[in-house]
Structure formats: structure tokens, C-alpha cells
Amino acid sequence: MSRPATAFLFSEVALSPLVARSTSAHSPRLDHLTLAGRLTELSGVGAAAVLTLTFTVVREIQHRGEPVAWIMSGESLFYPPDASDSGVDCEALVVVRVPDAVSIARAAEILARSGAFGLVILDLGVQAQIPTPLQARLLHAAQQHDMVVLCLTDTCQRLPSLGSLVSLRLEATRQPVAHGQVRCEGIARKDKHYGPGWRDGAAYAPPLGLC
């Protein structure tokens, strides 16, 4: 995603969870059971909440023992020390840099079709577009390999999603709560499987440098 001062934005929310999720075992949430086998778009204006929720998914997939690939263009990147502090194994995270958004989708297709990854992240940014044929091939790979394909977009809720093949669109939100904590949530604005309206998130505390 094209984000100025990415390291600051992410360090602000590279957090340790303080409150466990209250969703039941049968409720949709940000995990493999809900996200695998479909195209998911996680959108939000600004990178902070989007990155926090994305690394929630990364941790869950890594805890399953599956590799994760993050595909992006440009020079911006999450801040690795904060990602590591939040529980992500950065040494096991495959980061791929490509020239533009179309190249992101093409690289994602190659990695997804290999079946070698449990999670493939497309960091698409503001002007996010994926041609429909590429979306179809990504969806097929996700279904064939029981894989999570997560598209990150820097857009607000009122703008259209990437396309009709996106079966789940989540809006990333961040709200201050008591004692300097922040609550980050993903709110389902579109969900072909469970229906819109569900949400998943937790309260976080900022890293020591921002306390």
C-alpha cells in the first residue's frame, strides 16, 4: 500500500492483545475457518487498523504451521521489529516486491497456484484493481488449496469492492478505549457466506515507546 510514514503508523498499533475475542466457536472471525477458500478484501482509510488486523491473520496462519507470502509494490513496508513484537515470525514471512498493482495480482496467482502457502496477501493500496480473469484464477487456487487470499485496499466503505468475486469485504476500524488502549475491528460489510454485519476484533495497548 502507498503509505507515507509507514513505520510510525504500524508501530502505533503493533500491539499485544489485552482482551480475548468473545465470539463463539461457530461465529465468523478473522481466522482460517472463515477466510479460506474465498477472496477477502480488507479495506480502510489509513494503514494502522488494516495492518493490525492483517497481522492477526498472519499470526493465526503461522501458528497453523503454514507459510505466508506478502506481495507489494513501492518502497513502503510494515515495520519488522513491531511485527515481530506482535508475535509474527518475520524470518518465515516471504515478502515479494513488484512494480505495480497488476504485477501484485500476477505474482499472487503464481504463488497461490503453487499450493505452498496458507496465506497470500495482496497489498494493493489506493488504486486497487485486479482484472476479473485474475480474480477467478486466484479464487480457484484458494478453493483448490484451502488457502486464504487477502487483498488489502486503502479505500473507504462507500467505494466499490474489487469485484463480484470478492465474497467477503471487511472494513478495518480503530477506536480509542479506556486506559490508553485501542480497539481494532474488522466489520463485515459484504459476506456471501455468513451475511454482513458480524465483526471481530480486540483491545490493544501501544508499544512501550508510545506509552
**Cα→Cα distances 211→84, 201, 205, Å:** 18, 21, 8
Question: Does residue 4 have a pLDDT over 50?
Answer: no
C-beta of residue 47 within 8 angstroms of C-beta of residue 154? yes
Tens of pLDDT, residues 72-88: 987 667 788 888 888 99
- The 3-state DSSP composition of the chain as helix, strand, coil percent (nearest 5) reads 35, 30, 40
Tens of pLDDT, residues 124-155: 987 678 999 999 999 999 999 999 999 999 87
Residues whose CB falls within 8 Å of the CB of residue 134, separated by 6 or more in sequence, listed in order: 105, 106, 109
**Cα→Cα distances 132→33, 56, 165, 181, Å:** 25, 28, 8, 40
Model pLDDT, residue 149: 98
Lowest mean pLDDT among 4-8, 62-66, 108-112, 184-188: 4-8
**Cα→Cα distances 11→48, 55, 201, 203, Å:** 9, 12, 18, 16
For the chain, the residue count is: 211
- Which of 83-92, 174-183, 184-193 shows the highest mean pLDDT? 184-193
In CATH, 7-12+31-169 is 3.40.50.300: yes
* CA trace torsion 149, 57, 116, 192 (10° rounding): -30
Give the distance, in angstroms, between the CA of residue 83 and the centroid of all CA atoms in the same chain.
13
Which grid coordinates belong to 151? 487483498
**Cα→Cα distances 95→17, 74, 86, 111, 190, Å:** 25, 12, 18, 12, 28
Q: Indicate the pTM of the whole model.
A: 0.85
Model pLDDT, residue 1: 43
Distance CA(194)–CA(7), nearest Å, equals 35
Partner residues linked to 150 by β-bridges: 40, 121
